[in-house]
Structure 1
Amino acid sequence: MFAKENRFFLIDEPTNHLDQPARRLVGDYLAGKQGFILVSHDRAFLDRCTDHILSINPSELQIQKGNFSSWQENKRRQDQFELSQSEKLKKEIGRLSGAARQASQWAGRVEREKYGSQSSGLRPDRGYLGHKSAKMMKRAKALETRRLDALREKEELLKNLEHTEDLRIRPLPFSGRRLAELKEVSIQYGNLTACKGVSFTIEPGDRIVLQGKNGSGKSSVLKLLLGEALSFSGQLTKDSRLNISYVSQDTSRLKGSLTEYAAARGLEESYLKAMLRKMGFSRGQLEKDCSDFSGGQKKKVLIAGSLCEAAHLYLWDEPLNDIDLFTRIQIEELLLAGKPTLVFVEHDEIFASKIATKAVNL
């Protein structure tokens, strides 16, 4: 691609479906090249091959020198500073509002005294009281001006703050010692062996990442655990009481309305839509046909569907493909807080390192 001279390349999510070794290879290759704009949600990949970050924020575009990690740290500091400033201004606005209201009340009271009479029967000094009233009104107006200035300053803050709501997962408690165990399992498709000699145990609270190159049988292991009728040798032991929730790598079959999708999976429609709202769907998008969704939106529907299911074991096959950065972090926080028992395939290096309690190499 870079053999042609005088070209500037636009590279759109080159890591989708690539395994970790391939991502490192592509990242190292791009690190030695110049003249391209790259779209990617893989944080380790961005750190490996970028020297500027162009971020599309809610209110503006920003460009910063450095890799993703430096951009993320700068954004964290900026957001923290603006949140602090916003809180200070909120308190200042409240104080100024009270002071302006009090000054205005005082001015009105003094103004009324100009036309009254003192208890001694003497007429009040209207000149003095008029001057005092004008002075108080001037102070009230100055306080109101300061309040409006503080409001305008507050409005300029937090425009680029990415707000995400907490997601919820509903893992079922499991009383046994092991949910499932594979011993020397090999999976075949006719004459083709997808994987060979796979052994691991799933215990309550495990979050196991299946690692390996593309075609090493990771998805096949998930399907075998799910209960698909695959040809295999070796020993698979699985507790008969298990409720399993599955997120497929494939989103191409997702069609129809969300109402139809919820009914087909036996989900509570309102809860599914609430999850999708938390994942960035607008109200209008909830009424669209699923076939019209982007790849990332389709994957969010599958993940939200899994979150709606109470399960002992969650099987997620490349859940982050096409998923934006902030939703990735949102899902990370969900899994770390919810502590479900999970077996997953994911090539996002940072996500896998944060979430997995065990790794199985195929």
Structure 2
Amino acid sequence: MEPITINNLTFAYPGQAPLFKDCNLNLSSNWKLGLLGRNGRGKTTLFKILQNRLDYRDQVQTNLKFGYYPFDVADPDDFVWNNLSNMVPQLEQWQVERELNLMQTDAALLWQPFNTLSGGEQTRVMLACLFAQEGIFPLLDEPTNHLDQAGRSLIAQYLKQKKSGFIITSHDQIFLDEIIDHTLVIEQHQLVLAKGNYSNYFAQKQQRDNTAISTNEQLLKDIHHLKQVRQTKQQWAQQAENEKKNNSHADKGFISAKAAKMMKKSTIMKGRLDKAIEDRQGLLQEVEKVVPLTINLQPTHHQTLLSIDKLSLIFPGHPLCSNLSLKVANHEQVILCGNNGNGKSSLFHAILGDFNGTQDGQITIGSNIKISVVRQNYLYNHGSLQNFAKNSKIDYDTFLNLLRKLGMARSTFNVPIEQMSMGQQKKVELARSLAQPAHLYLWDEPLNYLDTYNQEQIIKLIQEVRPPMLIIEHDKHFIDHVATQKIQI
């Protein structure tokens, strides 16, 4: 067992509020630790600090050598094995094949060009490379992204059987419950370390939030009452002063003394009340606030917005889906299910008219139907939010309002999109789609990188508005709550 000791850690990006301030932690390399927290709270930043990739104040002490998922591939056009062996020269092929076998994955993937692998296959290859190395402590940043349900189950079983520890981030609570034994949560103003899985933490968090809400309600009542008392005292003092000014026949000396006495009492009382109000406001605890989202859904007379009949998609030497038929009717949410590499994202490209392979069959879109898309790959979003909104032809104020509802801090609004965290970039992509006027929505894995609070926001929005949607998603909780129809590819 090797400890990870963090003493008085403080870190802030230039021009932004601190993500960490005087933080102290003692972690064990034996733990399968889930690193949790809302988007933008600093999970990936903490991973970078552990790897000495960022300048920070004070100490992180450990003898561990960290390995990070996902890593950059030097030449995506080259074979997988060539990329892995060039990156880690001491790596033996049999070691990687052993890990792939534990994930029930064909080792033949090593001899395919990296860019021909599906997102799920790339995930497995990277994890195999990481765990094949001796003396490496893995930092796993969102490995469930792009994994289908079968893939998530396999990876969960693979990680569960590992005897060594690791730190992992994921927003799939079912996945985390299966594998982690400790949680480290970056909350609004504190780090919370606890034994147990995600459900254990969340149950404790709800108890703390419920207590905080009850306490806050009483404190707010006290503050309201104290403000009323303060106002009454000030009115009495003002009345005495007005009596002195307006009563020309009264005893001026008596009234002046009375007014001065009242004013003095009022000043003393105001100071006491101000202090009491300030003390109570300081006790107010912040609870995660989740507000409803909005969507710019446009009305349409079409009953069927999208129809696909006997569609087949083929890349050269790589058949995808075949003989696929489906319809998306008004107020219907159709979920595309299936294993990675079966052509779900390619189907979206075919619908939008930019599929690069061969297709056969019929795709029919209702006349004048506007489609809004959430893409799986949105790395080309860049620049300021204002320019992005202008180029996307969406209302800037509506766009920013949606980002705030999704939990993005106002301080982030001046950060270029390409410098945001992956979760924040995903919120930009999602907010753009929500702000666009549209009749039909094509969303490709909308939950990737989004925290559980955002996931619940999206579920409630879809349940209440029921916009016509074709969605690719692997999260079972989401599918069970929003799908009106499931299509297996």
TM tier relative to shorter chain:
0.7 to 0.9
In structure 1, runs of 5+ residues without a counterpart are 110-132
Q: How far off is 1:68 after superposition?
A: 1.6
- Kindly provide the amino acid, as one letter, of the partner of residue 354 in structure 1: H
From the superposition, tell whether residues 27 and 86 of structure 1 become closer, same or farther in structure 2 (CA, over 3 Å): same
Q: How far off is 1:307 after superposition?
A: 0.7
Residue in 2 aligned with 1:84?
Answer: 214
Match of 1:171 among 297, 303, 309: 297
Residue in 1 aligned with 2:378?
Answer: 251
Residue in 1 aligned with 2:178?
Answer: 48
Q: How far off is 1:185 after superposition?
A: 1.2
Structure-1-length-normalised TM-score: 0.80
Alpha carbons 2:309, 2:361 under 8 Å: kept:
yes
From the superposition, tell whether residues 144 and 94 of structure 1 become closer, same or farther in structure 2 (CA, over 3 Å): farther
Q: How far off is 1:102 after superposition?
A: 6.9
Please list the CA deviations of residues 281-314 of structure 1 after superposition, one character each: whole Å capped at 9, or x if unmatched.
Answer: 3444323332223322222211111111121110
Residue in 2 aligned with 1:24?
Answer: 153
Q: Quick check: 1:328 aligned with 2:455?
A: yes
From the superposition, tell whether residues 99 and 195 of structure 1 become closer, same or farther in structure 2 (CA, over 3 Å): same
Distance in 1 of aligned mates of 2:416 and 2:229: 54
From the superposition, tell whether residues 94 and 303 of structure 1 become closer, same or farther in structure 2 (CA, over 3 Å): closer
Secondary structure of the corresponding residue to residue 195 of structure 1: coil
Residue in 2 aligned with 1:228?
Answer: 354
Q: How far off is 1:45 after superposition?
A: 0.9
Please list the CA deviations of residues 85-110 of structure 1 after superposition, one character each: whole Å capped at 9, or x if unmatched.
Answer: 21122223333555677799999x9x
Q: How far off is 1:32 after superposition?
A: 3.0
Alpha carbons 1:180, 1:238 under 8 Å: kept:
yes
Please list the CA deviations of residues 102-145 of structure 1 after superposition, one character each: whole Å capped at 9, or x if unmatched.
Answer: 799999x9xxxxxxxxxxxxxxxxxxxxxxx9xxx8xx989987
Match of 1:64 among 188, 194, 208: 194
Written as runs of structure 1 = structure 2, the 5 A alignment for 1:1-20 is 8-20=137-149
Distance in 1 of aligned mates of 2:291 and 2:453: 11
Match of 1:313 among 432, 440, 443: 440
Q: More displaced, 71-80 or 336-345?
A: 71-80
Distance in 1 of aligned mates of 2:470 and 2:289: 29
Alpha carbons 1:268, 1:308 under 8 Å: kept:
yes
Q: How far off is 1:317 after superposition?
A: 0.9
Alpha carbons 2:219, 2:284 under 8 Å: kept:
no
Residue in 2 aligned with 1:116?
Answer: none
Q: How far off is 1:238 after superposition?
A: 2.3
Distance in 2 of aligned mates of 1:3 and 1:226: 41
Secondary structure of the corresponding residue to residue 304 of structure 2: coil
Secondary structure of the corresponding residue to residue 196 of structure 1: coil
Alpha carbons 1:335, 1:355 under 8 Å: kept:
yes
Structure-2-length-normalised TM-score: 0.61
Q: More displaced, 302-311 or 331-340?
A: 331-340
Alpha carbons 1:7, 1:35 under 8 Å: kept:
no
Alpha carbons 1:100, 1:141 under 8 Å: kept:
no
Q: More displaced, 82-91 or 31-40?
A: 31-40
Cα RMSD (Å): 3.5
Secondary structure of the corresponding residue to residue 176 of structure 2: helix
Alpha carbons 1:255, 1:289 under 8 Å: kept:
yes
Distance in 2 of aligned mates of 1:279 and 1:293: 14
From the superposition, tell whether residues 100 and 351 of structure 1 become closer, same or farther in structure 2 (CA, over 3 Å): same
Distance in 2 of aligned mates of 1:82 and 1:177: 47
Distance in 2 of aligned mates of 1:80 and 1:338: 29
Q: Could you say which structure has the larger radius of gyration? A: 1
From the superposition, tell whether residues 65 and 151 of structure 1 become closer, same or farther in structure 2 (CA, over 3 Å): farther
Distance in 1 of aligned mates of 2:418 and 2:458: 23
Distance in 2 of aligned mates of 1:301 and 1:99: 46
Written as runs of structure 1 = structure 2, the 5 A alignment for 1:207-356 is 207-228=333-354, 231-356=358-483
Alpha carbons 2:334, 2:469 under 8 Å: kept:
yes
- Kindly provide the amino acid, as one letter, of the partner of residue 220 in structure 1: S
- Which one has more relative contact order, counting CA pairs under 8 Å at least 6 apart? 1
Alpha carbons 2:226, 2:277 under 8 Å: kept:
no
Written as runs of structure 1 = structure 2, the 5 A alignment for 1:183-194 is 183-194=309-320
Q: How far off is 1:206 after superposition?
A: 1.1
Residue in 1 aligned with 2:327?
Answer: 201
From the superposition, tell whether residues 153 and 93 of structure 1 become closer, same or farther in structure 2 (CA, over 3 Å): closer
Q: How far off is 1:46 after superposition?
A: 1.0
Please list the CA deviations of residues 340-360 of structure 1 after superposition, one character each: whole Å capped at 9, or x if unmatched.
Answer: 111111222322222222211
Distance in 1 of aligned mates of 2:419 and 2:137: 31
Secondary structure of the corresponding residue to residue 291 of structure 2: coil
Distance in 1 of aligned mates of 2:228 and 2:392: 55
From the superposition, tell whether residues 262 and 99 of structure 1 become closer, same or farther in structure 2 (CA, over 3 Å): closer
Residue in 2 aligned with 1:36?
Answer: 166
- Kindly provide the amino acid, as one letter, of the partner of residue 283 in structure 2: E
Q: More displaced, 4-13 or 189-198?
A: 4-13
Q: More displaced, 46-55 or 306-315?
A: 46-55
Aligned residues: 340
Distance in 2 of aligned mates of 1:267 and 1:102: 49
Q: How far off is 1:79 after superposition?
A: 1.4
Q: More displaced, 43-52 or 281-290?
A: 281-290
From the superposition, tell whether residues 98 and 175 of structure 1 become closer, same or farther in structure 2 (CA, over 3 Å): closer
- Kindly provide the amino acid, as one letter, of the partner of residue 25 in structure 1: L
Q: How far off is 1:53 after superposition?
A: 2.1
Please list the CA deviations of residues 242-261 of structure 1 after superposition, one character each: whole Å capped at 9, or x if unmatched.
Answer: 11111111112222333332
